[in-house]
Structure 1
């Protein structure tokens, strides 16, 4: 790979009127290497390493030229509750041809969000609910005519039309909608009153192999602390492997393959399996405080209007060992994004103040379900109604320059026009999302802000590498997903080529600088799911 030896690569062209920023490659290297060092123990929120993370990022923010962003403090408290499930948990199903017991980690993972020392589910009727979707606007309801209160629902991952090779159609075809995300599946099951919600894992529509699920779930899990102790949620939530599901359905006298096919059709009716689930979860509960880290460059003439840069600082901490290594360092995911945040802060401070204030936010607990960004969005330090928009960074490109840019969730907001202009100025074209079935739009912190109306850009290098083309780009993406994503192998590599990251950071800087300079208020396109809340928040100004 090409090794950039200078402090910054040559400036990349910007549209007329936008300064070309100085993006320090040395900053990208230093911050990524430091935060992914074993001494940070994988940056798990609320762990003993968190104060070290806070101190380092706050120091880099200060040296970049930012001011503390929360009334003189660098941090925002984010109250958390940690629940550890004893590894002796097992799912026992009776009522079929033969009893089926699923083992923890090899066949399934299971947890709870209810804050109680023991969760017991006894003789819960098991129902297959297809994709577990209730979408009135589409005339689709997998729970139609069904009362699942106290029952166990088994759910397929992704949307009914995920295998369609193109984008478009009832559930947008190959491009996952929020209805396809595992988070939605559990939310809807809870709304329906299900005692347990179990998702059938399948690598392609889930977007990652089962060992990635195990890395995230077979450990204490975090959630935002809540006054109701999350008693409105299902008692148990989890995943089972495809092989385990096949055995389970066979015991019930059902063919899983045939039911998957039936679940794709409009008007599908849920299928009671004649099975009963018994499971007991013994839990250990800890209430703790994590923190978002926030810095600001105050604006001049419109300092009470804001542009937001965000990236998550957390990773998985200690995870499932691979070849004796149990530290999930998270070098790319997302020490690199925080490095980009620091490099952009340096560039913005060097360029001087803009009319609008610029906020730099390193959020916690993204890997636990976007919790830090959710907390900030629900308890903003700076009003979301006064936040013009911004950029979120989650995994930078270290494979070299690309000829293209991919926009996650393209067609949703006015920010698409900004991307097109800045990509073109850098000599790049816009490519369709290469893996829309993975639902990236709903998997990082920009989604927390989008849900409350703020247009946030999620875009970056495509796969068409200048050196190697599409074949090399796809190979690099697949290598990362299969061999390093959410594994101890996501470690810093000294020979990474940061030139592609500089391309992207230059684009992010230009878009955010323009937002911070102009009087524009980007919005969602007419009919988008987030348009109404943005219109309502802006109407109050």
Structure 2
């Protein structure tokens, strides 16, 4: 599915057709009123505490923690009276391969003025997408700096122009060339990250170019997280989508390197990394071979094929049961990871994303209590989000309920426990007509929707809604606002920074009985009101005219 992104991008570039109306969805006054039911915070607390307990071992796909998670979710949905959503089953199999690297050598660069060595873990991480190779060895591979590693013909940009990197090791910068601009105008949307800025794309393009190895230079600001996140996410068991060819068309080795080590590497080749980074931001950048420098790394792989599972629960509609509203959240986390100073090596994933998973159950419970809606409602808990949106991507390619008959939906990932906020931050605000539904729900709470304060972090491409959007399905994804009722923006930003620095993708993302649940309660009610309105209306909200996903949706809905 990684290799399909260019085909999707080609579709996205097509002119938007007009088979669907550009008229906005029903006005707020015409939309069905939300029911008076409020999703239960007690249900949220109970399930978040359970899912993030050490007994679930961090909910890694293919682990005992997955088995416990699946059993809990299917039991909860059955208790509420929902139906198994996948042809009588609660589950959709997602073929994966678990890859655990062993005997990892240092990443060594020779041939420069002096050798440069990066140690596995604190200075570099390495892995592979190849699912049939128990041993990977990159030996004496010439090194080429390819800037941001982007090949975007529609933008007149090709960082691989004029160089053949087959069998070579490419060094790549994270994010887009114009991420430092203040506005949203630019070749790559200015400050807002495009998919070309995501690390997943960079490995995909390096593989298409034939690179033996692809190494991204970690830089905290454009990456949007520190090295601790990279290290915890990329060490230990990794999960990769299975394929018929064992992903043999992918680069043998993919990974990250600390920026100071990259600086030493460039200096050994007589280059200045900072100067090369500035050059890479300019149109017409040409790749730069590191003259004489060769890369070497090797590691063994323990390979295990298995089927992880998405959980699919259905609340049938009463008058139009063949039309669907989708709620999604990922149930997985990292399992055991880089240990904290106290020896704790379980990444419990309480906020990320036991909160979203629990929200699925709380929303299902509230909708059962309120009574069935005209349209059916689907509650989808997907696997392997932390491995690159693999579970949602599989559902996107193999939807249980056709996207042409799915109205739209909401995605929930890491609800805020910092307290009630005056706003919510909409990821991708202005992209679809779903914004009108959210605005109505917000107005009832006296709150507002705001745009992302950090669009350079590329959140639109980092959660499961993207897997559905790229197939044309309008999805709403928002985060808890940063303008807190108690403490304002300063308090909200401090809470977000503290979580990112000290808990995100680490062992300390644990359940805390002292959390302030008022913000979760308010945001959960928004998800409920938006979903309920979508499930009662006769409208089919679309992407706005000119949006990248509009043509796909119009084509999918044509003739319905």
Return the TM-score normalized by structure 2: 0.92
* Conserved 8 A contact 2:31-2:537: no
Question: 1:95 is matched with which residue?
Answer: 111
Which residue is 1:435 aligned to?
Answer: 454
Q: Does 1:307 align with 2:325?
A: yes
Runs of 4+ in 1 over 6 A off after TM superposition: none
How many equivalent residue pairs? 529
How do residues 219-238 of structure 1 correspond to structure 2 at under 5 angstroms?
219-238=236-255
Aligned counterpart, 1:45: 61
Match of 2:306 among 266, 279, 288: 288
Measured after TM superposition, the shift of residue 357 of structure 1 is 0.8
3-state DSSP of counterpart to 2:510: coil
Distance in 1 between residues matched to 2:435 and 2:151, nearest whole Å:
30
Do structure 1's residue 277 and structure 2's residue 277 form an aligned pair?
no
Task: Tell me the CA shift for residue 269 of structure 1.
Answer: 0.8
Comparing 299-308 and 316-325, the one that deviates more: 299-308
Is the 8 Å Cα contact of residues 306 and 516 (structure 1) preserved in structure 2?
yes
Partner of 1:137: 154
Aligned ranges for residues 455-534 of structure 1 at < 5 Å? 455-534=474-553
1:35-184 equivalences under 5 Å are 35-115=51-131, 116-184=133-201
Of the three residues 338, 356, 381, the one matched with 1:362 is 381
- Residues in 1 aligned to 2:447 and 2:31: alpha-carbon distance in whole angstroms: 13
Query: Per-residue deviation at 1:479?
Result: 0.5
How far apart are 1:15 and its partner, in Å? 7.4
CA distance in 1, matches of 2:100, 2:398: 27
Distance 1:125 1:460 in 2: 43
The question of whether the paired residues in 1 share the 8 Å contact of 2:32 and 2:537 is answered with no
Find the aligned partners of 1:451 and 1:50 in 2 and give their Cα distance: 27
CA distance in 1, matches of 2:484, 2:102: 46
Which shifted more, 169-178 or 237-246? 169-178
Please state if 1:383 is matched with 2:402. yes
Partner of 1:4: none
Is the 8 Å Cα contact of residues 134 and 301 (structure 2) preserved in structure 1? yes
User: 1:118-140 CA deviation, whole Å, 9 max, x = no partner?
Assistant: 12222211110111111122111
1:259-318 per-position Cα deviation (integer Å, ceiling 9, x unaligned): 001111111111111211122221111101111111100112221111100111111111
Matches of 1:319 and 1:34, distance apart in 2: 19
CA deviation after TM superposition for structure 1 residue 398, in Å: 1.1
Alpha-carbon distance in 1 for matches of 2:555, 2:166 = 35
Counterparts of 1:286-435 in structure 2, within 5 Å, are 286-322=304-340, 323-435=342-454
Asked whether the equivalents of residues 32 and 533 of structure 2 are also in contact (C-alpha less than 8 Å), the reply is: no
| Secondary structure of 1:458's aligned partner | strand
- CA deviation after TM superposition for structure 1 residue 350, in Å: 1.1
- Once residues 306 and 251 of structure 1 are traced to their aligned partners in structure 2, the CA distance between those partners, rounded to angstroms, is 58
CA offsets 1:16-36 (integer angstroms, 9 cap, x no match): 622233211100100000000
CA–CA separation in structure 2 for the residues paired with 1:197 and 1:261: 20
Partner SS state of residue 352, structure 2: helix
CA contact (8 A) 1:15 1:422 kept: no
Q: Decide whether the 8 Å contact of 1:87 with 1:104 is kept in 2.
A: no
Q: CA–CA distance in 2 between the matches of 1:499 and 1:74?
A: 32
In structure 2, distance between residues paired with 1:230 and 1:521: 38
Structure 1: distance between partners of 2:228 and 2:83: 41
**Alpha-carbon offset, residue 52 of structure 1:** 1.0
State the TM-score, normalizing by the size of structure 1.
Answer: 0.95
| Cα separation, 2, equivalents of 1:27 and 1:477 | 25
Q: How far 1:430 sits from its partner (Å)? A: 1.9
Conserved 8 A contact 2:31-2:533: no
Q: In the aligned structure 2, how far is the partner of 1:21 from the partner of 1:134? A: 50
Whether 1:251 aligns to 2:251 is no
Q: Which deviations, in whole Å up to 9, do the C-alpha atoms of 1:343-379 show, x marking residues without a partner?
A: 1001111111112110001111111111111111111
| Aligned counterparts of 2:356 and 2:321: Cα–Cα separation in 1 | 26
Secondary structure of 1:287's counterpart equals strand
Look up the match of 1:17. Answer: 33
Compute the displacement of 1:540 (Å): 5.2
Equivalent residue in structure 2 for 1:449, among 460, 463, 468? 468
Residue by residue over 1:457-487, the C-alpha shift from the partner in whole angstroms, topping out at 9 and shown as x without a partner, is 1113210001111111111100100000011
- Match of 2:463, SS? coil
Structure 1 portions without partners, runs of 5+: 1-13
8 Å Cα contact 1:80/1:289 also seen in 2? yes
